Structure 1
Amino acid sequence: MEQPLIAGGGWTTAWRERRVGTGRLLAAHIVYRHPGDLSRTTELAVAEVARTLAEDPDDLVRSHRAWWHRYYQRSLLSVPDKRLQHFYWIQLYKAACATRADGPSMSEWGPWYPETGGSWTAVWWNLNVQIATWLIQGSNHLELDSVTSTFRDFEKNLPLSVPPEYQDGDTYALAHPSDWLLRPGAKTVGIPGTSTKTDNNGNLIWAMHNIWLSYRHTMDIRIVRDVLYPILAKAVNFYDHFLYEGGDGKLHLPLTRSPEWADAEDCTYDLSLLRWGCATLLDCLRILRTDHPAPGAGARSWTAWWPTPAMPPGS
């Protein structure tokens, strides 16, 4: 079944069934390409179905079960409350069904869809991706870290979420929902202190905290060098456009919004993320053993006004 997209490319779902003893074996595969040729999408989907059906189904089942056995053995948790323990295992199962480090970030529903309505197939960055993927580090499953790989591969699209008047090449933001390539929908993150303000301002810094957790669990300096540091610096730069010094000699933010809660000046949500972001940038400099300032004009915020680094909670 082919489904072309108006913007080019499209989806193809291919499936075929064959008899295996007294039973039936169904193989199905979906391929998406944009941009791209829909005929090529169909060719790839059909070929994958044929490859699967050419294999011994018992071998496929064995390899699949072996993967799951290895997966769970890295995640042992035993607590007296068995209901809580079962909940933990269920979450691990769902996470492994929903994402991979070399695949897209987890969408709102993952691979599951409601029978009627509410099928939010985009990627929600105002808390959903962040909290849905917290368990992968502590459970020893960095092979599911699609957040770090997504920002590594699609950083180039982050300026698209910045309001046009602030797209200076040194500022990043992240609107929600986005697609799996980090491209925003119809709206940017909006401008604090104006009628266009949204609850999107802190999305990108919060996502960087997930990447910081991956660094802390692996101590892989490439995560800091190639993903966290360059992106976090430009995410902090977004706030630098709007910080102002008040009569009390302290920095303040105009009206922003705490996601799904309320509007406020000096919103705790934004200030907490900004403080963490600035402190973590200073940590990054020490990790990278450099005193070179972050790219962009916003470097003044975190090098001058937040001189004392602090580790984020849970690190």
Structure 2
Amino acid sequence: MKPFKIILLVLNLGCAAMALAQTSGLPDAHFNLSLKAPITTWDEAIPLGNGLMGGLLWGENNTLRLSLDRGDLWDERTHGEKEWWKKYTYQKGAEMVAQKKYAIVNGWWDGPYNGVSPTKLPAGRVEIKLPQGQLVQGFELKLATAEGLAYFKSGAVVKALYSASEPVAVLSVKGAIPDAVDLLSTSDVYRKNTDGQGGPSSGGSVSKLGYPDAVKGKKGNAQWYIQEAAEGLKYCVYVETKATGKETLLAITITSTTDSGDLLALAEKRCSAALAKGYDAVLKPHKQWWNAFWQKSSVSVPDTAVQKQYNLVQYFYGAASRLNAPPMPLQGVWTADNGSLPPWKGDYHNDLNTQMTYMAYQESGRFDEGASYINYLWDRRDSFRAFAKDFYGTKGLACPGVMSYSGQPLGGWGQYSMSPAMSAWSAHLFYLHWMYSADDKFLREKAYPWSSEVGECMLGLLKKDDKGILRLPLSSSPEIFDNSPKAWLEPNSNYDLMSLKMLFLSLKEMAEACDKNYEINKWADAAAALGEFHTKDDGTLLLDANNELKSSHRHLSNIIGLYPFNLITPENGEKATKVIDASLQSWDKLGTSQWCGYSFSWMSCLRARVGDAEEAVKNLDIFVKAFVLRNGFHVNGDQTKSGFSSFTYRPFTLEGNFLASQAVHEMLLQSWSADPGKINTGVIRIFPAVPQKWANASFNDLRAEGGYKVSAIRKNNQTVSFSITAAKKGKVRIKDNFNGREPKWSVKNVNKTGDIYEVNLAKGEKISATF
């Protein structure tokens, strides 16, 4: 064999080995998050968590810090009038807008957001001081075991984990004995911070909450503080240490009045039990949980930066979103630790953020982690019914566009915070959870009931005009024209139109799957009565019937029908292709000067969805390069100041991370239907938008709509094999995008109609193909 061929063979074998290593389960240690010391700011720290609690590990010289958080610590005090939304209703707002009294509406709906509360609360920090001369050199996040480590020049090592099985964090210090372990309340952190102020869009300093100083206590090797918050909430942050020979152990927990009347006794019990077990004993079930988590699925792409970001974001689901824990708001369980309250109150924004944060779990099969938000919405349905009745004056339910942990409307720019279409987009998450899990019990018990109540609310608001078109009283397109009078668009904006049409079509599909035949036509008729999307003659999607997007903008709201909705696809014919091409050319022409980080990862998803692999990876690469901090957190502004965006600030939110993770999925596997509303019409597309530079890629057990598990390998820019396992009995449909190459099937009776392969599979049956 010639030397060149030998080298080529070795390279190919090496690529295949890397692919197998990544798709075999646990993430390779090569992709761990490794950071050089010092880390001098909380938002560049090593992120740890177990869904309920979160921690950020950082520090410099001989000092380590663990910033503390718990997902349900909220100050729910309304700013201004109690239940203001009952007085300043949607109908009254529509009347004021009709009279062009815009300032009045802004005062009603934006004013409540301008106070300090409601807001997510930080929980202080623990500081560990090692002897003078100890110097921290680096930090690491071990993805496979969800452990944070700090390495010292002397050889000392500090390990930290947030137990996956108990509501406690445990730290191990070996190689040095701490001089001090200090527990700082949020007020202590504020006083230590030089200016006591937060970053852009912060709610201000924690001092503005007006809380009394925390009550501190000590007993033996334990210390704690109890903070009286608002409206009866108290929480206890508790730390206990134990020195055993060559190791110093720390156990940390946060309890609140939602756990127990005696929150101190509960905290003591949790920490004492953890210390009695020791770090290794606590680690054992923790590792088992994370091992099962990583076995759900995996991907391998030949780009280290993208692969690291993907793995890290999947880790975020496990660390920050658990089945029986609060779902992730803007910053998850990693609230600001700088003496200030979190940017944008750390709230639940439903005009993009929550939806996109929970858009990437379905394909990776992390249904328990995703169900955290689904269950949160389900559990608050009584509050959402009351909101629909009191604010919109309708039956059914609606979740506020911007809300607190309890589901309270927070207000904000009224065009979006009080828009009913946000509920339609939230309902889409129920639909996707059903589509990817193929869980018909979930469909009947939660997905259809919750979503259909949203549908009832929307039908209560929509009225037919003289042409028979259903229209809302008010319309907008997030977050175009901010909160200026121009932001009130002519109903229905394309954003509202697309959100409502997707809702009604998905309800039609779900009703058919639930055998609710008498409801199918209702939803189908509603979808049709919304009319056509608004376009220019050349096909460019407008904002509404009259207004064109004429400047760069961060939110892809007027083209949401391309992604995440599958309302306009390349498979819908020449007219749809014209709309896609013209609209994306328009967005390209307007440029990215007003984009945020999430805009790039969203556009990456969208370009992959329409089959534009090179633009998809281009936008993904920009996101990974310029819009993440060194610990992987998404920040809104261009940190490289390379001109990708005029925004260069750094408030941290999570949705851009998850969109980037989903962009990888969209490049590797798609399964949407070109006919939404028609049941069982999804098509599996394997490697539908893979760029040339990803010549070798693979994935294992990603999910497709219909509950299918799909695995595939690609080498030298060609698919070489794939397999599909059925979650239930039915017909699987596979797109022929194999460049004229004929698959060798593992089963008989695979038929082909046009460019679609079809085969019936039994539940659990697996079909494989090689080339």
What range is the shorter-chain TM-score in? 0.7 to 0.9
What is the CA distance between 1:143 and its match in structure 2?
1.9
Pick the aligned partner of 2:303 from 64, 81, 95.
81
Counterparts in 2 of 1:68 and 1:20: CA distance versus 1, 3 Å: farther
255, 268, 284: which is aligned to 1:46?
268
Question: For the residues of structure 2 that align with 1:165 and 1:152, how far apart are their CA atoms?
Answer: 19
After superposition, residues 119-268 of structure 1 pair within 5 angstroms as 119=342, 120-145=345-370, 146-162=372-388, 164=390, 166-168=392-394, 170-181=395-406, 183-187=407-411, 198=417, 200-262=419-481, 263=487, 264-265=489-490, 266-268=492-494
Inter-partner Cα distance in structure 2 for 1:176 and 1:94:
24
Match of 2:527 among 306, 309, 315: 306
Question: After the TM superposition, which of the residue ranges 138-147 and 113-122 deviates more from structure 2?
Answer: 113-122
SS of alignment partner, residue 102 of structure 1: coil
AA partner of residue 33 (structure 1): T
SS at match of 2:476: strand
Q: How many residues align?
A: 301
Q: Is the Cα contact below 8 Å between 2:402 and 2:410 reproduced in 1?
A: no
Using a 3 Å threshold, how does the CA distance of structure 1 residues 154 and 114 change in structure 2: closer, same or farther? same
1:71 to 2:293 alignment: yes
Counterpart of 2:226 in structure 1 is 2
Aligned-pair identity in percent equals 21
- 1:4-24 per-residue CA deviation (whole Å, 9 max, x = no partner) reads 233123222122111133221
CA displacement 1:86-120 (0-9 Å, x = unmatched): 11001011221111122111111111133444613
Matches of 2:416 and 2:436 in 1, distance apart?
35
Matching residue of 1:20: 244
Distance 1:178 1:33 in 2: 22
TM-score by length of 2: 0.36
**Out of 48, 60, 77, which is 2:282 matched to?**
60
The verdict on how the C-alpha distance between 1:166 and 1:176 changes in structure 2, with shifts beyond 3 A counting, is: closer
- Partners of 1:245 and 1:251 within 8 A in 2: yes
RMSD value, Cα: 2.9
Q: Distance in 2 between matches of 1:224 and 1:189?
A: 34
| Distance in structure 1 (CA, Å) of the matches to 2:307 and 2:388 | 42
Name the amino acid aligned to 2:304: K
Cα gap change, 1:140 to 1:166, in 2 (>3 Å): closer
In structure 2, the CA distance between the partners of 1:47 and 1:200, relative to structure 1 (3 Å rule), is: farther
Contact residue 123 and residue 129 of structure 1 kept, 8 A: yes
Q: Distance in 1 between matches of 2:463 and 2:354?
A: 31
Task: State the secondary structure of the residue aligned to 2:301.
Answer: coil
Q: Partners of 1:286 and 1:144 in 2: how far apart?
A: 28
SS in 2 for 1:27: strand
1:256 is paired with a residue whose SS is coil
Q: What amino acid is aligned across from residue 358 of structure 2 in structure 1?
A: T
Q: Tell me: CA distance 1:113–1:166, structure 2 relative to 1, closer, same or farther (3 Å).
A: closer
Is residue 255–residue 263 contact of structure 2 (8 Å, CA) maintained in 1?
A: yes
Alpha-carbon displacement from aligned partner over 1:124-178 (angstroms, at most 9, x marks no partner): 222111111222111121120212221232322212433625455x221111432
One-letter amino acid of the structure 2 residue matched with residue 256 of structure 1: S
Q: What per-residue deviation string (whole Å, max 9, x for no partner) do you get for residues 234-267 of structure 1? A: 2122322332223333222333222222432211
Q: In the TM superposition, what is the alpha-carbon distance from 1:33 to its structure 2 partner?
A: 3.3
1:285 Cα deviation from its structure 2 partner: 1.5
Deviation at 1:310, TM superposition (A): 4.6
> What is the distance in 2 between the residues matched to 1:95 and 1:139?
10
- The CA distance in 2 between the partners of 1:214 and 1:113, in whole Å, is 27
CA distance 1:47–1:112, change in 2 (3 Å): same
Contact 2:348 2:405 in 1 (8 A): yes
CA distance in 1, matches of 2:461, 2:368: 38
Which stretch has the larger CA shift, 101-110 or 170-179? Answer: 170-179
Hey, what's the Cα distance between the residues in 1 that align with 2:473 and 2:368? 40
Counterpart Cα distance in 2 of 1:84 and 1:186: 36
C-alpha distance 32-188 of structure 1, shift in aligned 2 (>3 A): farther
The offset of 1:278, in angstroms, is 0.9
1:279 Cα shift?
A: 1.2
Q: TM-score, normalised by structure 1?
A: 0.84
Distance 1:228 1:84 in 2: 33
**Residue type of the partner of 2:251?**
A
Segment drifting more, 43-52 vs 111-120 = 111-120
Listed as ranges, the gaps of 5+ residues in structure 1 are: 191-195
Q: Secondary structure at the match of 1:247?
A: coil
User: SS of the residue aligned with 1:249?
Assistant: coil
**Contact persistence 2:330–2:346 (CA under 8 A):** yes
8 Å CA contact 1:4–1:11 kept in 2: the answer is: yes
Partner-residue secondary structure (3-state), 1:54:
helix
CA change 1:25–1:176 in 2 (3 A) is farther
Please state if 1:276 is matched with 2:498. no
2:412 and 2:322 map into 1 onto residues whose CA distance is 28
Q: How far apart, CA to CA, are the structure 2 residues paired with 1:107 and 1:245?
A: 37
Deviates more, 1:130-139 or 1:255-264: 255-264
Per the TM alignment, residue 274 of structure 1 is displaced from its structure 2 partner at its CA by: 0.8
How far apart, CA to CA, are the structure 1 residues paired with 2:391 and 2:357?
33
Structure 1 residue 197: Cα displacement = 7.2
Question: Residue type matched to 1:152 in 2?
Answer: W
In 2 relative to 1, CA 53–95 (structure 1 residues): closer, same or farther, beyond 3 Å? same
The separation in 2 between residues aligned to 1:165 and 1:255, in whole angstroms, is 14
Q: Structure 1 or 2: larger helix share?
A: 1
Match of 2:33 in 1: none
**2:398 aligned counterpart, secondary structure:** coil
- Distance verdict in 2 for CA 1:45–1:258, change over 3 Å: farther
Aligned counterpart, 1:286? 512
Alpha carbons 1:255, 1:267 under 8 Å: kept: no
Q: Does 1:113 align with 2:113?
A: no
Structure (1/2) with the larger strand percentage:
2
Residues 199 and 256 of structure 1 are in contact (CA less than 8 Å); yes or no, is this contact kept in structure 2? no
Gaps of 5+ in 2: 1-224, 482-486, 529-675, 683-703, 706-771
